[in-house]
Every structure is written in structure tokens, then in C-alpha cells.
Chains A and B, each alone.
Chain A
Amino acid sequence: MSSEDFGFLLALLLNGASIGLMYALIALGFVLVYKATDAINFAQGEFVMMAGLVAAAVLGPDGTWLIVAILVTLAVMIGFGFGLERVVLRPLLGRPVVAVIMATIGLAAVLRGLTPIVFGSATRGVPLPIGDDPINIGPASLPPIQVLGAAVAVLFFLAFSWFFKKSRMGVAMRAVADNQQVAQAMGINVERYFAIAWAMTGVVSALGGIIWGNMLGVDIQLALVGLKVFPVVILGGLDSIGGALLGGVIVGIVESLAAGYLDPYVGGGTKDFAPYVLMILVLMVRPYGIFGRRQIERV
């Protein structure tokens, strides 16, 4: 392998890893909810889209009120998380898993339907004061937003790791996830922690929406990013925060390698295809993923 080829490979790897960390940012929201409430959120992409739209609407084209926009987005998404748990998820407690899946699919449809009516169908930008000059790391030159996104993902990972291991709330949440009845018997308000988990997903989605919105622009297409969540969480393990991070990196790298090496032969688009093939293979061989609990029900 010549040094030029090696440089190309390294650039692909770095680029893939940073995009992958941005996927992990979205996947974290999914994992949080699954970990605490056993609910599967098929509307994660729509959460991110909604957060991006709120941020874009507050920021406007100039992006002057950045702090305000971030705070408003956080507030809206936290409120949305709370409300959603109350209105949709709580009545479905104890129902078959398929019912919850369908409800979140319905929710995704509602959000996709309402956003173009409320916000219009034009693509909006989320301007952030981070400049456009690519950051050079070795042979790769990454756009600054990717570096920022990767940093935020890692930050969230560290924060949540601490939260679940050390904080009283985090330990309670793990107890709820482990066994709802026993947790309740120990005096933990299970419903309250369900609501908190959804609100935390709101926080992650808010940041995800701002960062992805800056990179791709916000319109209804942004919700498609949510489809990338599934390969990431299946690969990493549905209930593992570290798994989301590692899964994100792997999916990002697989995408990037597919785009770099396969696209010239098949005429493009393998980027959208490779993660799902990888996911099917993982589902066949190791459905609980790299770090997931081996609690999957076999039939």
C-alpha cells in the first residue's frame, strides 16, 4: 500500500469516526429511553428534526441569539419529552412491545405532518459561530461542525456514564430499568423516572438537532437521520451508552469506507446501504450487540 493510499484510508477512517460520533449523539437519546423505560422510540429522527426547527426559528438567518436559542430549544424539547410520556407512553404501559413501536411510528408521522404546516417547508439554516475553515488532523480535513458534534457526543457520553454510575437519580433509573416492581417497592417513583428519561432524550435531541441542523440544514429530510440510529444501537447494544458511542463510530467508519471504496464501482449511494447490511448480519449473529444485556428472548 503506497503512502498515498494509506493517507486516503486514514482520512476515510477519521471522517467516518467523527460522523459516527455524531450518529452516536442521536443514538444516545434512543438508548436512554430504552434503558430506563423499555420503550422503543421510532421517532428519534423526528425529535432531532423538531429540535433543529425550533433552534432555526429562534436563531433566524443571522444567528445572533445563540444562547437564547439553545435554552429555548432545550426547554421546548424537555417539555415535549415530559408531555409525550404523559399523553402517549403512559397509557401504553404494560401493553405488548409492538403497541409501543406502533405508537412511536404514529408519533413520527404526526411530527412529520405538522412541522411543514407550522414551520413551512423551506430548508432553514442553523448558523453557529464556528467558522468554515476545515480542521486538519493528519491527512484528513474535517469541517468544524463535525469536530464539535463529535466533542459534544463524547461529552454527553462522559456525563451520562457518571450520571448512571454515581448520581442518586441515575442509580434509581437503573433500578427502574432493571425491575419496575422491585424499584417501586423500594420507594422509587417509577412514573417520575420514566418522565425524566424522556426529558433527557429531549436534551440530547435538542443538541443533536442544533448540530445536525447546522451541518445539513433543517427541513423534513433531517428526520431521515433517525433511520441511522438503528444500525448504531443494534451494533452497540440497545441498552448500552458506551455501545451507542462505539456503534456510532463503527457505523460511521463502515459508511465512509463503503463510500470511498465501493462507490466508484457501483455508481454511488452505498453509504445509505452498507450500515443496514451490517445491521442484518449483527441481528443474525449477535442480536444483543457488542455491549447489550444478553436478555433477548429467543423463540
Chain B
Amino acid sequence: MFHREAGIFKTTYAADMALYPLPIAKWTVAVLALLFVVIVPLVLAEYYLSILNLIFIAIVGALGLNILVGYTGQISLGHGAFMSVGAYTAANLAVRLGLPFWLTLPAGGLMAAFIGVLVGIPSLRIKGLYLAIATLAGQLIIEWTINHVPAISGGAQASIQVPRPDLFGLILNTQSRLYFFLLFFVVLAIVATLNLMRSRIGRAFIAVRDQDIAAEIIGINIYRYKLLSFAISSFYAGVCGVLYTYYFGIANYEQFQLIVSIDYLAMIIIGGLGSVLGSIFGAIFVTLLPIVLRLLLENVGSLVFSDSELANVISGTRLAVFGALIIFFLIVEPEGLNRLWRNVRNYFRVWPFSY
């Protein structure tokens, strides 16, 4: 039906916290489910599925970082390293002990959560700039350790080949099989985050972000919740790292360098801090941007640059556009794409009676 709400008539907290605030939300979810479970895998070619898969993995990581930065108001420049912790934990378990993915995945997440808490301990004493620098140090130390300790990195190349995940005998070696595998985890991550933010924990995070001293006065143990936020956030990052590892079939520390931490920060800033939908928008945007840029530059750029220069130009443009977008959104629209989407939606929600 096309009926819409005419105002806010919620009378109970339960109604205010409902996952489906409006009946139409159920229909939206049903349509999205149909689209992603049935139509997309039937219609799209392998190449486009592979892009979707990358977006799915990025969404998991972006959600995690948004829990920490957007909801709890901390900052982390170390999320790339937390992903590598998850990736190498899973890779080592899978290769050395032959464990299946449903054991290595949570193990990678838990290990990342543990390391994340260690790196997050300075957040108990310091914040803002100092925390940024402390997590930066965490990133660099973890990168160095993985690269220099063969017991973790598996030899000179610092990379470990991982067998494809195996689901009840079905080996997930094609993009369409991986698609369902990753779709499951991305839905899990989205629902888990939505629910987390409705719970006591999530609202404690938001209280810590908005005014930490006031939060402490109303009885929130801010030490506990800050560390919990680091733990949950790095758990997501670890799972994201494991998914990357299974997706590429290899764990390599070069996929998780400082620049990755910045990519993910870009995602949540462009998408919108403190919003689940924003994390999704940001992950889509940041994953698609280099692909679109590459397409554009390969077609247009070849008129100006030689082939050998082109690779340089593409990677340079990508970085520069990322940086410019971060600055642009910070200055012009700090709430990101999510805010733009809400503006559009609110306009049409009351259209044509916009007064």
C-alpha cells in the first residue's frame, strides 16, 4: 500500500526501538531480500558479482570502524592492522591445523578483538590527537611484526596461501558461490550492528561519544565501554580481514597497510559517521570509485598519457580523489552521503505537501 505516516505516534519505548519503524520497512526488506538473493545472482555476470563481493567485505569493515569512530567517538588509524591480525590468524589456522572457515573466521575476529583492545588501552587515558597517534603506532608496530616474524607471516614473501572455504563439501571457488557466502556475513553484520545500537551497549557508546563526563555521571562505566567498543570494532575488522583472505585465497600484509586504515576512515566519513546506512553507502562509494576512475582514465587518459605513465596516474588520481573527498565532506557535509539520502527521502516522503 502507499499509505505513509502522518506524524510520530509512538507511545512506548518498544515502538520507538522497533527494527521496523514503519510497516513499509518490512516490504523494503522483503524487496531487497528478493533482489539480492534471487535476482542479482541470476542477472549479473561474474565480473559484476566480484565487485559486489568486494563491496560486501568492505561493508563489514566499515560497519566495524563506524561503531568505534561514529558511535563511540574514538578514532583508530589501526584498522588495517586489525584486519591483518584476523587474516593471518585465520590463514595460519587454516593452513597449519586445517581448520574449516567456520572456526577460523571467529578465531580471526577474536584475535583481532584482543589486539584491538591492547591498542585501545591508551584510549582510557588519552583521546583525540593522542589516541590517533597511539593507534597509528599500533598500525606500524603490527605491520612491522607481521612482516618480520616468519612464524606469523609464513616466510619471506610474508604471504600465506589459503585453501578456498568448503561449505558441506561445496568448494566456494567461483564468484557466484562466494557471493552467497559473503552475502550471509554482510547481512549478519548489518543486523548485528542495528541490534547492537538499539541495545544498552549501543546507547552507552553514543552517550560516551556525545559527552563522556555526563555519561559517567549517569552510571556508564566509560572505561569498560571504550574497550568494549574497541573490541567489537576490531572483531568486525578481523572478520573483514578473514573474508578478504578467503576471497583472494591469500593473506598478504600489503593488503592491510596504513593506506587501508585511511580508506576505511574515508568510507565512514563519506558515507556518514554514526549510521549503519552511511557505512553501506561509504563502502559502496569507496569500492566503486577506483573502478570507475580506472574505466574513465583508461578511455580518456590514454589520449594524454603513455601506457607506462597510466598506471601511475590511475593510482595517483585515486588517492588524490579520496583525499579531496574526505576534505570536501568534512567541510561541506560532515554527515556524509547518509544525510544527502535522508534529505532526498524526507523530501519525497511529504511530497507533494511539503509544508
Question: Interface centre among A95, A106, A113, by most B CB within 10 Å?
Answer: A106
Taking CB atoms and an 8 Å cut-off, the chain A residues in 141-160 that contact chain B are none
Within the assembled complex, what's the spacing in Å between the Cα atoms of A152 and B240? 47
Interface of B is mostly: helix
Interface bits B103-114 vs A (CB < 8 Å: 1, else 0): 000000000000
The verdict on B23 contacting chain A, using a C-beta distance below 8 Å, is: no
CB atoms of B324 and A110 under 8 A apart = yes
* Size class of the B contact interface (CB-based, 8 Å): 35 or more
The verdict on A68 contacting chain B, using a C-beta distance below 8 Å, is: no
Within the assembled complex, what's the spacing in Å between the Cα atoms of A113 and B323? 8
The verdict on B128 contacting chain A, using a C-beta distance below 8 Å, is: yes
CB atoms of A99 and B330 under 8 A apart = yes
Given known A98-B132, A227-B140, contact A117–B313 (CB-CB < 8 A): yes
The verdict on B320 contacting chain A, using a C-beta distance below 8 Å, is: yes
Taking CB atoms and an 8 Å cut-off, the chain B residues in 295-344 that contact chain A are 309, 312-313, 315-327, 330-331, 334
- Smallest distance from the beta carbon of B306 to chain A beta carbons, Å? 11
Within the assembled complex, what's the spacing in Å between the Cα atoms of A120 and B310? 11
Pick the residue among B75, B138, B147, B222 that contacts A98 (CB under 8 A): B75
- Smallest distance from the beta carbon of A238 to chain B beta carbons, Å? 8
CB atoms of A114 and B137 under 8 A apart = no
CB atoms of B331 and A92 under 8 A apart = yes
Interface bits A104-136 vs B (CB < 8 Å: 1, else 0): 011111111111110011000000000000000
What A residues does B312 contact at CB under 8 A? Answer: 116-117, 120-121
CB atoms of B334 and A99 under 8 A apart = yes
Taking CB atoms and an 8 Å cut-off, the chain A residues in 250-271 that contact chain B are 266-267, 269
Of the listed stretches A14-22, A173-181, A193-201, A280-288, name the one at the interface; the rest are far from the partner chain.
A280-288
What B residues does A287 contact at CB under 8 A? Answer: 125-126, 130
Within the assembled complex, what's the spacing in Å between the Cα atoms of A101 and B312? 27
The verdict on B148 contacting chain A, using a C-beta distance below 8 Å, is: yes
A114: nearest residue on chain B (CB-CB)?
B320
Within the assembled complex, what's the spacing in Å between the Cα atoms of A29 and B269? 27
The verdict on B122 contacting chain A, using a C-beta distance below 8 Å, is: yes
What B residues does A284 contact at CB under 8 A? Answer: 121-122, 125
Question: Interface centre among A97, A108, A231, by most B CB within 10 Å?
Answer: A97
What B residues does A109 contact at CB under 8 A? Answer: 262, 319-320, 322-323, 326
Interface bits B231-270 vs A (CB < 8 Å: 1, else 0): 0000000000000000000000000000000100110010
What A residues does B17 contact at CB under 8 A? Answer: none
Within the assembled complex, what's the spacing in Å between the Cα atoms of A299 and B130? 12
CB atoms of B322 and A106 under 8 A apart = yes
The verdict on A88 contacting chain B, using a C-beta distance below 8 Å, is: yes
CB atoms of B331 and A110 under 8 A apart = no
CB atoms of B126 and A279 under 8 A apart = no
- Smallest distance from the beta carbon of A114 to chain B beta carbons, Å? 5
What A residues does B309 contact at CB under 8 A? Answer: 120
* Size class of the A contact interface (CB-based, 8 Å): 35 or more
Within the assembled complex, what's the spacing in Å between the Cα atoms of A273 and B265? 24
CB atoms of B140 and A105 under 8 A apart = no
CB atoms of A299 and B133 under 8 A apart = no
The verdict on A138 contacting chain B, using a C-beta distance below 8 Å, is: no
CB atoms of A102 and B326 under 8 A apart = yes
CB atoms of A230 and B125 under 8 A apart = no
Within the assembled complex, what's the spacing in Å between the Cα atoms of A174 and B129? 21
The verdict on B27 contacting chain A, using a C-beta distance below 8 Å, is: no
CB atoms of B323 and A110 under 8 A apart = yes
Within the assembled complex, what's the spacing in Å between the Cα atoms of A110 and B320? 4
Within the assembled complex, what's the spacing in Å between the Cα atoms of A275 and B327? 30
Within the assembled complex, what's the spacing in Å between the Cα atoms of A92 and B327? 10
What B residues does A120 contact at CB under 8 A? Answer: 309, 312
Within the assembled complex, what's the spacing in Å between the Cα atoms of A116 and B309? 9
CB atoms of B148 and A267 under 8 A apart = yes
The verdict on A169 contacting chain B, using a C-beta distance below 8 Å, is: no
Given known A113-B320, A269-B148, contact A97–B129 (CB-CB < 8 A): yes
What B residues does A238 contact at CB under 8 A? Answer: 129
Interface bits A60-92 vs B (CB < 8 Å: 1, else 0): 000000000000000000000000000010011
- Smallest distance from the beta carbon of A280 to chain B beta carbons, Å? 5
CB atoms of A299 and B212 under 8 A apart = yes
Within the assembled complex, what's the spacing in Å between the Cα atoms of A299 and B227? 13
Within the assembled complex, what's the spacing in Å between the Cα atoms of A95 and B335? 13
The verdict on B127 contacting chain A, using a C-beta distance below 8 Å, is: yes
CB atoms of A106 and B130 under 8 A apart = no
Pick the residue among A92, A107, A297 that contacts B127 (CB under 8 A): A297
CB atoms of B212 and A280 under 8 A apart = no
Interface bits B133-145 vs A (CB < 8 Å: 1, else 0): 1101110110010
- Smallest distance from the beta carbon of B82 to chain A beta carbons, Å? 16
Within the assembled complex, what's the spacing in Å between the Cα atoms of A267 and B151? 14
Within the assembled complex, what's the spacing in Å between the Cα atoms of A297 and B127? 7
Within the assembled complex, what's the spacing in Å between the Cα atoms of A99 and B268? 12
CB atoms of A117 and B316 under 8 A apart = yes
CB atoms of B128 and A113 under 8 A apart = no
The verdict on B124 contacting chain A, using a C-beta distance below 8 Å, is: yes
- Smallest distance from the beta carbon of B153 to chain A beta carbons, Å? 13
Given known A267-B148, A269-B144, contact A230–B323 (CB-CB < 8 A): no
Pick the residue among A110, A231, A273, A280 that contacts B327 (CB under 8 A): A110
Given known A97-B129, A109-B319, A299-B125, contact A283–B144 (CB-CB < 8 A): no
Residues of chain A having any CB pair with chain B under 8 Å: 40, 42, 88, 91-92, 95-99, 101-103, 105-117, 120-121, 227, 230-231, 234, 238, 266-267, 269, 272-273, 276-277, 279-280, 283-284, 287, 296-299
Residues of chain B having any CB pair with chain A under 8 Å: 69, 73, 75, 77, 121-122, 124-130, 132-134, 136-138, 140-141, 144, 147-148, 212-213, 222, 262, 265-266, 269, 309, 312-313, 315-327, 330-331, 334
A-B residue pairs, 9 tightest by C-beta:
A113-B320, A109-B323, A113-B319, A106-B326, A110-B323, A106-B323, A97-B128, A276-B137, A106-B327
